Structure 1
Amino acid sequence: MLTAAEEIVDRDGYDSLTMTLLAGELDARVSSLYNHVENLEDLRSLVQLRAMRLLGDQVRQAAAGHAGADGLRVLSHALRSFARSHPQRYAAITRPAIDGEAFFDAASETIEALAVMVRSAGLPEERIISTGIAVFAALHGFVSLEVAGYFDGVDGDLDEVYELVVRGAVTAAVLEATK
C-alpha cells in the first residue's frame, strides 16, 4: 500500500494523494484502506517518514569516509541527487511534519550526518544546530527551485551554479568554525 502511495506522489504530487486514488490504484475499496491507516493524514505522514528515512540512508552512505568541508560538499550533492530523483517526495519532507516526533526520529540520520560534518570542520558544539540549519536552508533554496522547474530554460550550467551555492554554504560553515 505504501509503495503504491509513493508511486502516486511521485507521479502526481503529494497533494494529489487521496484515499480514493490509492484505492483505485490498488483495485481495492476505500474502506479497506482504513484497516492499514487511520486516515489520509496518517497515510501522508507515512509517505513523509519513509521519504525522510530514504534521504537519511543516501546521506549516510554518501558521508562514509568523509569529514569537514569535503564531507559537507558530499552531503550537499547527496541531498540534490535525492531531490532530483524523487522531487515530489523531497517536497513532502520539506513541508511541516505531520507527526513531529516520528519525523524527527526519521530525520535523525540526516541530522547526525550533517552535524558530524559540521563538527569535523571545527565548529563548537553550541553552533552546530544553527550552522546546520543555515547550510540546509542555502542548499534547499537552490534544490527546491531546481526541482520545481524554476530554472528551466535558463542558459548556463546549473551544476556550476549549485557548486557556487555549496561553496558558499561550506565556506560559511568553515568560517564560523574559526570565530
Structure 2
Amino acid sequence: MARAGLTAGRLTRAAADLADEVGFENVTVSALARRFGVKDASLYSHVKNLNELRTRVALQAAREFADRTGPVLAGRAGKEALVAFARAYRAFAREHPGRYAATQIQLDPDVVAALCADPRDPAPADDLRRGREMIELTYAMLSGYRLEEPDLTDAVRLLRGTFHGYASLEAIGGFGHPRDVGASWERAIDALHVALEHWPAAPDRTESTL
C-alpha cells in the first residue's frame, strides 16, 4: 500500500533537494526512501524505477532553470540580454549543483513520453513545455546579433559549451589561479559578445570547376 503523504511530485522535489546536497549521480531510490524513513517499496507505488525518478528530477530542474533565466530576458536584447542570461545561468548552477547536473543528462524519450501522457500527473508535461520554451528563449536572445542558421545554432552551442564548461570547472574548484573567478566570468561574457557581434562569415565551400 502506498505510504500516506507520498506523491510523485513530493518525491521529485525531495530528490531534487537531495541532488543539490549529495550530487545528482548519488540520488537513488534507497537514499530517497531513507530521507522519508520508509522502505524502498513505498516509493515504487509512485515511481517505477530510478530512471523515471531521475527523469522527473531532470524535467523539474529544467523548468526551474527556465523560471530563473526566462524573466531576465524580458525586454532585453544584444549584450544586455547576454549578460543577464549568463549571470542567471551561473547563479543557478552554483546554487543548485544537483539540479543543474540533472539538466545536462540525455533523457530517454520513451520515459519522457510515458510521463507526459499520464493524465493523473500533469507536472512532467508542464515541466517539459517550460524547458522547451527556455531553448526558444535562448535562440530569441541571439536575434539581436542578427545571426541566421546555421550560424545561430553554432552560436547557441558556443554559449552552452562556454557556460557549462565554466560552471563545471568552478563546481570542482578547477580554477587554481588567484585571479577572481567571477571577474574572469564577466570578461568571458565580454569576449562572447565581441565574438557574436563579429561572427565570422562561413567559408566558401564551393568547389572550383577549373
TM-score > 0.5, shorter chain as reference: yes
CA distance in 1, matches of 2:154, 2:111: 20
The one of 82, 87, 90 equivalent to 1:80 is: 90
Instruction: Say yes or no: does 1:115 pair with 2:144.
Output: no
Whether the 8 Å CA contact 1:14–1:88 is kept in 2: the answer is yes
RMSD: 2.2
Structure 1 partner of 2:29: 19
Sequence identity of aligned pairs in percent? Answer: 30
Q: Specify every segment of 5 or more residues in structure 2 that has no aligned partner in the other structure, as ranges.
A: 1-10, 113-126, 203-210
Indicate the residue corresponding to 1:4 in structure 2: 14
Is contact 2:92-2:100 (8 Å) kept? yes
Aligned counterpart for 1:148 among listed residues 172, 175, 183: 172
Q: How many residues get paired?
A: 178
2:197 aligned to 164, 174, 178, which one? 174
Paired position in structure 1 for 2:6? none
Distance 1:175 1:101 in 2: 42
Whole-angstrom CA distance in 1 between matches of 2:130 and 2:193: 25
Asked if 1:163 is matched to 2:173, the reply is no
Q: Do the aligned residues in 2 keep the contact of 1:5 with 1:47 (CA within 8 Å)? A: yes
1:33 partner letter: L
Q: Which of structures 1 and 2 has the bigger CA Rg? A: 2
Q: Which amino acid aligns with 1:87?
A: P
Once residues 65 and 201 of structure 2 are traced to their aligned partners in structure 1, the CA distance between those partners, rounded to angstroms, is 30
Provide, for residues 65-123 of structure 1, a one-character-per-residue CA deviation record: whole Å limited to 9, x for no partner. Answer: 21112211111111001001101211221232344895874531221221111112211
1:162 alignment partner, SS class: helix
Residue in 1 that maps onto 2:77: 67
Matches within 5 A, 1:90-101: 90-99=100-109
Structure 1: distance between partners of 2:154 and 2:73:
20
Distance change >3 Å, CA 178–CA 70, structure 1 → 2? farther
Deviates more, 1:63-72 or 1:42-51: 63-72
Q: Name the structure with the higher helix share.
A: 1
In structure 1, runs of 5+ residues without a counterpart are none
Are the equivalent residues in 2 in contact too, given 1:59–1:79 (CA < 8 A)? yes
1:128 aligned partner:
152
- Work out the CA distance in 1 between the residues paired with 2:137 and 2:39: 42
Cα distance, 1:79–1:9 mapped onto 2, change above 3 Å: same
Could you tell me how far apart the structure 1 residues matched to 2:14 and 2:196 are? Answer: 40
From the superposition, tell whether residues 176 and 156 of structure 1 become closer, same or farther in structure 2 (CA, over 3 Å): same
TM-score calculated relative to the size of structure 1: 0.89
Q: Is the 8 A contact 2:63 2:130 kept in 1?
A: yes
Query: What is the Cα deviation at residue 29 of structure 1?
Result: 2.2
